[in-house]
Amino acid sequence: MKIPFGTIAVTPGSRRLINEALDTLKLSSGRLVREFESKFAALTGTKEAVAVSTGTDADILALAVLHDFGAKRGDEVIVPALSFVATGNAVLHAGFRPVFVDVERHTLNIDPKKIERAITKRTRAIMPVHLMGKPADMDAVNRIAKKHGLYVVEDAAEAHGAVYKGRNAGTLGDMAAYSTYIAHIITTIEGGIVTTDRGDFAEVLRSLRSHGRACKCRVCVVNAAGAFCDKRFRHGEGSDIRFVFERIGYSCKMNELEAAVGIGSMDNYRRIIARRRSNLLSMIKKFDRFSPWLYTIKEEKHEKIGPHAFAIIRSPKAPFTRNELGVYLERAGIETRHLFSSMPTQCPGFAFLGYKKGQFPEAEYVGDNGLHIGVHQDLGPRHVAYFIKTVAEFLRSKGLKSRY
């Protein structure tokens, strides 16, 4: 049996929209992108959603917005040490300095007890990550942010479908950045999207994704219909709003073909979420038998984990390595990924920041001992059973027994 890490389906509706776009030759950001944004905002329960070309761009632009609201280049953003490297990269690309905080090993998320000691007079925001779709402790994060006058930007890349105390991920801070990469629940193949309830943030986001130009309307009249825009020359004689650049920007618009795939993805969202959560919760329940050798994150009563993937962490007592388990699973047809790294101490690109090995023991432990596998909608009970059977066989090959 094969258990691939991810899957994608381009729906008949998406194919129809793609063909329509190809026939009309309207391929750059336009009607379909606006439809995708509107549907995504409605799905998450936010007033605004601004689509961009990648999830990393979503992180970058959400942070870059803060320059319009008092932040300065070189100011600091607090992030968890454990995440996909895009989180740390985004802080730097947005013009800030990442300040890392260790995680809780049992949740994989930022440890709220360690945040305040990392705050300085230059701190402007906290960016919690809902890693593996498990919501961070947002009550604690927001309480700290309010006390110190900081913005909260959720890295919700893996948090499609995650719920924290009755509220969707993406609605728990000032902004949230999602990935719509091919492995994610709502996918545009490549892509990302920022959600917020603040119209002023959304206007700046629309400017930032298009070089920082003064055009910030939700619907561009010129792009939509080729009509005259009464704002075009409002900056004075000889000026053109499309060539007035109000801020340092980026070039990261989503295109119509990607949006078409995303619209189809959302049409099947409820079914996909239900199937993936069934797989995830079944794996969590059955995996408990492998204690004390292996463990995974748990779903608490106050939350729903967004079913992005299934985390596997080797326990300290285990007489085998992470890679031994990973190779065994791969040879059995179960595709694996490492469970990221401690960005400041296990990713060489961040060495210039001066952090030293041992400063983030929990993140470093997971970076050395964590794996994750897929829970996607093309899997079902027989795949879950095969995965559990394969792990049990691996432990038996090491002379170890499952609990039941």
Q: For the ranges 253-257, 327-331, 400-404, which has the lowest average pLDDT? A: 400-404
H-type alpha helices, 209-350: 221-225, 256-267, 269-287, 322-331, 343-346
pLDDT per position as a tens digit, 158-173: 999 999 999 999 999 9
What does the pLDDT average to over 260-274? Answer: 95
Q: Domain ranges for the chain, please list them.
A: 12-102+110-266, 269-397
- pLDDT-based confidence at residue 347 (cuts at 50, 70, 90): very high
Mean pLDDT, rounded, for 227-249 = 74
22-47 pLDDT tens trace: 998 888 888 999 999 999 999 999 99
For the chain, the average pLDDT equals 94
Distances (CA, A) of 399 to 297, 317, 322, 404: 25, 14, 16, 15
Distance CA 91, CA 47 (A): 25
Cis peptide before 80 (omega within 30 of 0): no
Higher pLDDT, 359 or 226: 359
Confidence of residue 240 (pLDDT cuts 50, 70, 90): confident
Q: Give the pLDDT of residue 230.
A: 64
Q: How far apart are CA 34 and CA 49, in angstroms?
A: 9
pLDDT at 28: 85
The answer to whether 12-102+110-266 and 269-397 have equal CATH topology is: no
Q: What is the mean pLDDT of residues 258-283?
A: 96
**225, pLDDT greater than 60:** no
Q: For Cα atoms 38, 56, 133, give the angle at the middle one, nearest 5 degrees.
A: 75
pLDDT attached to residue 9: 85
Tell me whether residue 52 is exposed, middle or buried, using C-beta atoms within 10 angstroms of its C-beta: 0 to 12, 13 to 18, 19 or more.
buried
Cβ atoms 191, 160 nearer than 8 A: no
pLDDT digits (tens, 9 = 90+) for 98-148: 999 999 999 999 999 999 999 999 999 999 999 999 999 999 999 999 999
- What average pLDDT does range 50-69 have in this prediction? 98
323 pLDDT above the threshold of 80: yes
What pTM value is reported for the model? 0.94
Query: What is the distance between the alpha carbons of residues 317 and 41, in angstroms, rounded to a whole number?
Result: 45
The DSSP code for 134 is P
What's 269-397's CATH class? Answer: alpha beta
12-102+110-266 CATH, one of 3.30.420.40, 3.40.640.10, 3.30.70.1140, 3.40.50.300: 3.40.640.10
